[in-house]
Structure 1
Amino acid sequence: MNIRKHLKQFSFFAAFAGLCLLGCSSPVSSSSSSSSGSGSGSGGSGSSSTSYARISQSVDTGKLVSSADAVSSVSFGNEITVNLGGVSWTAGSNSGTASSDAAEMTDSITIKNTSGHIVIDASASTAATKITFTGSISSGELEIKGSTSFAIQLCLSGASISSSSYPCINVTTATKTFLVLEGSSSLTDGRTYGNAYSSGGSSTKGTLYSKGAILVSGSGSLSVTEGYAHGIYSKDYIRIFGGSITVNNAGLSCIRSQNGFVMDGGTLTLKGTTSHSTRKNNNSRGIIVEGDESAPGEGFIYITGGTVNINTTGKAISAKWDIDEDAETSSTSDDPNPVVYITGGTFTIRTSDSVVDSDRSSTITYTKYNGETESEKESCSPEGIEGKNGVIIAGGTFDIQTTDDALNASYSTYGYVNISGGTLYLYSKQGDAIDSNGDINISGGTVVTVAPTGSEDGFDCDGSLNFTGGLAAGISGSSHSYASGGSSTQKVFVLGSSYAGSAGKTMAIKDSSGNPVFVFTIPSVASGYSIITLSSPKIGTGSYSIWSGVSASGGSASNGLYTSLPSVSGGSTTGTITTSSGSAVYMLGASSGMGGF
């Protein structure tokens, strides 16, 4: 039994019952009685962010990030070159060809080749070892046994490995593994999903697998093709400094680790092709970090730069440790920190599977990658970026188009999405653009969210939607407003579609002098939407007119939202809003509501 899960559920329902007894007061009043309506606002009583202080809204990146992760920080006392074509090797003045009998190359490091299964054993070495691989091998595999005291560098220099019933590269000890890319290299996993490989093979769950950290650098490229489990897997953490990595995955995940993923630079191109309809509960995903109570405070994803292109059927990026499902102890001191924290980089993300809600589904039995069977509720949630505890965006450029939520923090009551910088376009076809089971806090950046269908929302939260800075426009299929007048310090307008205008058209807000302070071209994919929630630091205290169908000239826009204001002409005025210093949120043609339950 998950003790914390049941305690948390009791606390949630007790709190919800209290809310029902106290009643819910709307933080704003709305007006939509005529085509030239007048908006009004009040301070409201939105939930304070301190209500969610039981989770620290921060990441201790030092738990994973270290200068010792750079390959330049290590002095490699042993250098070996292996040509995979004939499995010949050189180590200083020594050389030879590997056979089924283990041969020492240098410093007690041995090599053995049994029908293409190459084993290099450096467990008894007395220094860090660099091994450069060149050439190609078919139906072959590399097994590396490192020393837990000394690092291993695997330099792939135009190397190509196609395996049969083993992973292409398997580092079997908890050795820090530096993967350096030179030229163009490739790994092709010959195993197929659903097979145990208990004899005459290995069910190790990565085409490139290591029990220790995998640290990638270099100016070359690596292509990984697999249909078994995961493309690249570390039982510790993965860090990308450079290089270009492409993973074509018909298995489970393109890149997966137990304790963390860090990216400083380089390019990732990840494609996951197997759908939920083909393989229930086991579609293909992008970057997944599991999290584990053996590594408290870890389990996060931290990206500061690079280019990430992901096109998957399932989740694109997820820090997935879930207190409801994964906690094994009653203590919180050993919990990982499943947060996605991004300060830079360029992200193009697409997910395509249909959403299946486990709360409304039946139990199914399916076959796992290794041939074992498992029974659980059917579920499919192809989010773009998911941090179970939280998502922090402080920079970067994002184009995320998904079937489920584009950004998601699902931890009940305490989850959070904090945006302080970056340029974001978030579009969900079947879910919310941003969905937090706690707060959404926007203090900077340029944010466009689109969730135009049914009851879905551009901004959806169970706590407070707080604007204290930034430039934002959120399009919702529902007519509920989540903006908090009590916690927002920047003015927020919530406009019904009859005031803002139709999809594909440009709307504007003008001050009392007729100058535009907010201009936005509503995306064409927003057809049929209900409301727009918008906020800008240029909206202050005074009288503002709402215009639809205007023409814009000059300025510059990001995803339709003008960051440098244009001149506008034409169109028609649909309403006015008069703001005051004591209120933050104002409505025309929308209703306030908690939503999100």
Structure 2
Amino acid sequence: MYPNSPINQQPSQTEDDSTNNSGGTETDSTINDQSGSQDGDDNVPITDSPDDSQSTGDVHQNQPEVPINTDVPPPPHVNEVDHEADGDYVWNSSDVIDVRLNGNSITVSLASAATVDGSKVTIKSAGTYRLNGSLTDGQVIVNTENKETVRLILNNVTIHCSTSAPIYVMKAKKTIIILQENTQNYVTDGNSYTVDSNGEPNGAIFSTSDLTIYGEGSLNVDANYNDGIASKDGLIIKSGFITVVSIDDAIRGKDYIVIKNGHINLNAGGDGLKSDNTENVTRGYVSVENAVIQITAGGDAVDARTDFIMNSGQISVTSGGGSSNNIVAGNSAKGIKAIVSLIVESGTITANSADDAIHSNGTITINGGSFTLSTGDDAIHADDSLTINNGVFVITKSYEGLESAVITINNGNIHLASDDDGINLAGGNDASGSIPGDTFYSSNYHLYINGGYIYVNANGDGIDSNGAITMTGGQVIVDGPTIRMNTAIDHDKPFKMTGGFLLAVGSSGTQIAPPQGPDASSTQYSVMVTFTSKKPAGTIIHLKTNSSGTEIFTFKPIKEYKTMVFCSPVLTTTTYDVYTGGSSTGSITDGLYTGGTYTAGTKTTSFTISSIVTKVGPPPPPF
């Protein structure tokens, strides 16, 4: 193989799997990551956007400087501020007020702090309250005038309310639900609520103000009316074991959802995690770190009105019934969706989605992480730009693999399979026609490949750019289409290749849509071979020098093919022989052999390189 090429490089992973044992006890505790609270609404509107030796050589040798990509906009502002503050998780045990839930009645240890009306308790003052016991059909309400925090310690409680939110924060500066360690807590509601003029409350745990969930206990929410856990302001999950089953959205934080740790399992008829503030550009975001999250959603598993930020952790999602399911026109069933920007620093994402697995109406930046994606539409889609700086990607099923107006791949290990185009710049001409093309808002379509390892198995075009392609490094292997109207590589503007390794096989194309590869603007030699007849799937292609018999590559396509495009620093102005068939005793990875011995098949053709681009064989058929 290519010992110094990206095929043998493993992207660095800096995933932090450590946990924060915050605990849910009454002893004093402090927090390490502190960000000041920010209240208020700026009311800023948001708009949608819609060698001739046995070695085959080092693909990075003589690699030029990477060109500056001027097509990609500067990184967007990332929303990161939340309401967590010093002292949130600190309280004095002597100040705790006990609230005993006795089925159909309630007792409070400090009568002046709360009022009781049968099976309904209304907390009137800030402070720390410990809830014990169960309510058959009752409610815990927080309605305070104080400008201080209310803490609710759930200590093996079961609360059911048939006509409203079992836990309802009507008014408070901030409420923190504390899950006592080693406890199981249950909150369930009915399928019909009595609501106010604003349609509230509409969640089993509902807050009109900032809400935090913290502790090492368990919280189980069964929401039969609408949402599971909802905050009209911000929502922080600091820790805890949380399970939500909901008719509509599982967890909704209008201003933001910030998950700092915990184990979260969601099953939602609507969206899994949702932040939907449309009035303020500093709101409507979802942030994840350290947590382990599993989501099954009828709609989007994660829906962020502005940004999605993942710094670490694990997310596994199934949306819209999974990749084999068809979605109703107009519905959205994406894995992870962010309208403005989506940023992944590290972590693990597994998605099985009927719609796009990872989607942004704006930009996507991936700096690391591990991704396993299966989707009925695009695996990773960004309207404006997609930048991959590192990461391991396994795309087992997709309509199109990577799609954006501008795609930049600087590093990473990418394996993808697609029903149509593998890598698509600007939607392209979708051959299968089952899914409509996407709308893009830029005409500067461009694919930049500066490093990394990319393997594409596409039934449509392997790489389809409605603009230009620039490749300065990396390794790309394409098992392309068998249908003539599609080719392994298709581009409308120049394909300039100045470094790296490219090997692509596929159909013959037509005179209207001929197979393509690097052009005369390149500084590396390339060759395109068109065979006189189709070669069956599994027929080896072997390229060697004519004079010394040095092997350049041995490759075994997985589908029938008629053309081969090859560009590499190892090509020089000499004569080469092409063999098809035969066998090899080497090790094979993505069709490419390393080591071993090649037993010759049939010598198909020879060619001599004398110019940057060499074409061998007959032209494509008219149609």
TM-score band, normalised by the shorter chain?
0.5 to 0.7
CA distance in 2, matches of 1:101, 1:75: 25
Larger Rg: 2
- Structure 2: gaps (5+ residues): 1-65, 104-119, 133-137, 153-158, 190-202, 277-283, 379-397, 427-439
Letter of the structure 1 residue corresponding to residue 286 of structure 2: I
Distance 2:87 2:503 in 1: 53
Letter in 2 for 1:397: N
Rounded to whole Å, the distance in 2 between the matches of 1:74 and 1:492 is 60
- Could you tell me which of 154, 162, 168 is aligned with 2:228? 168
Match of 1:540 among 572, 592, 597: 572
- Structure 1 residues 61 and 166, CA, compared in 2 at 3 Å: closer, same or farther? same
> Alpha carbons of 1:286 and 1:79: their partners in 2 closer, same or farther (altered >3 Å)?
same
Matched, 1:576 2:606: yes
**C-alpha separation in 2, matches of 1:433 and 1:382:** 12
| Offset, 1:152 | 4.5
**What is the CA distance between 1:575 and its match in structure 2?**
1.6
> Matches of 1:179 and 1:108 in 2, distance apart?
16
Task: Specify the alignment match of 2:287 in structure 1.
Answer: 239
2:167 and 2:413 mapped to 1: Cα distance?
43
- In the alignment of these two chains, the number of paired residues is 455
How far apart, in 2, do the equivalents of 1:244 and 1:100 lie?
A: 29
Tell me if the contact between 1:160 and 1:186 (Cα under 8 Å) persists in the aligned partners. yes
Match of 1:99 among 124, 134, 139: 139
The CA distance in 1 between the partners of 2:569 and 2:470, in whole Å, is: 15
Of the three residues 173, 189, 197, the one matched with 1:124 is: 173
Is 1:187 the counterpart of 2:244? The answer is yes
CA distance in 2, matches of 1:122, 1:385: 46
3-state SS of paired residue (2:472): strand
Tell me how far apart the structure 2 counterparts of residues 62 and 83 of structure 1 sit (CA, whole Å): 49
1:260 aligns with 2:307: yes
Q: CA deviation at 1:522?
A: 0.7
SS at match of 2:444: coil
Compared CA separation, residues 383 and 248, structure 1 to 2 (3 A)? farther
1:269 aligned partner, one-letter code: S
1:551 to 572, 583, 587: 583
1:226 corresponds to 2:268: yes
- Root-mean-square deviation (CA), in Å? 4.2
Distance (whole Å) between structure 2 residues aligned to residue 79 and residue 486 of structure 1? 68
When residues 303 and 461 of structure 1 are mapped into structure 2, their CA distance, relative to the original with a 3 A threshold, is: farther
1:216 to 2:259 alignment? yes
For residue 516 of structure 2, what is the amino acid of its counterpart? Y
Q: Residue 417 of structure 2 is aligned with which of 392, 395, 401?
A: 401
Q: Deviations over 1:474-508 (max 9, x none)?
A: 33335223324233333333233558943223222
Q: 51, 74, 78: which is aligned to 1:60? A: 74
What residue in structure 2 maps to residue 142 of structure 1?
A: 205
Q: Aligned pair 1:249/2:297, yes or no?
A: yes
Match of 2:447 among 393, 414, 417: 417
The match for 1:373 is: none
- For residues 99 and 349 of structure 1, do their structure 2 counterparts lie closer, same or farther at Cα, with a shift above 3 Å needed? closer
Distance 1:313 1:553, change over 3 A: same
SS in 1 for 2:207: strand
Following TM superposition, by how much is the alpha carbon of 1:574 offset from its aligned partner in structure 2, in angstroms? 1.4
Alpha-carbon displacement from aligned partner over 1:460-482 (angstroms, at most 9, x marks no partner): 33323333333333333352233
Deviation at 1:449, TM superposition (A): 2.9
The TM-score normalised by the length of structure 2 is: 0.62
Q: 1:214 to 1:451 in 2, by over 3 A?
A: farther
CA contact (8 A) 2:259 2:288 kept: yes
Cα offset, 1:167, TM superposition:
1.5
Report the TM-score when normalising by structure 1. 0.64
Flag the 1:551–1:314 CA change in 2: closer, same or farther, 3 A.
same
Partner of 1:473: 503
Cα offset, 1:348, TM superposition: 2.5
CA distance in 1, matches of 2:480, 2:575: 29
Name the SS of the counterpart of 1:481 in structure 2.
coil
| Residue number in structure 1 paired with 2:341 | 300
Given that 1:155 and 1:179 are in contact with CA atoms closer than 8 Å, whether structure 2 keeps it comes out as no
Opposite residue 314 of structure 1, the aligned amino acid is D
Q: Which has the higher contact order (CA 8 A, sep 6+)?
A: 1
SS at the partner of 1:538? coil
Corresponding residue for 1:287?
336
Q: Does structure 2 conserve the Cα–Cα contact (< 8 Å) formed by 1:231 and 1:254?
A: yes
Q: 1: distance between equivalents of 2:423 and 2:239?
A: 32
Q: Name the SS for the 1:344 alignment partner.
A: coil
Cα distance in structure 1, aligned partners of 2:358 and 2:479: 19
- The verdict on how the C-alpha distance between 1:278 and 1:343 changes in structure 2, with shifts beyond 3 A counting, is closer
Supply the AA of the counterpart residue of 2:237. L
State how far apart, in whole Å, the 2-side matches of 1:85 and 1:590 are.
87
The question of 1:426 aligning with 2:473 is answered no
Counterpart code for 1:168: G
Shift of 1:268: 2.6
1:93-151 deviation digits (Å, cap 9, x = unpaired): 642468354365992438798744423367525xx96754862333362223445xxx9
1:313-462 equivalences in 2 (<5 Å): 313-320=354-361, 338-352=362-376, 382-387=399-404, 389-410=405-426, 411=440, 413-429=443-459, 431-454=460-483, 455-462=485-492
- The answer as to whether partners of 2:305 and 2:338 remain within 8 angstroms in 1 is yes
- Match of 2:453, SS state, is strand
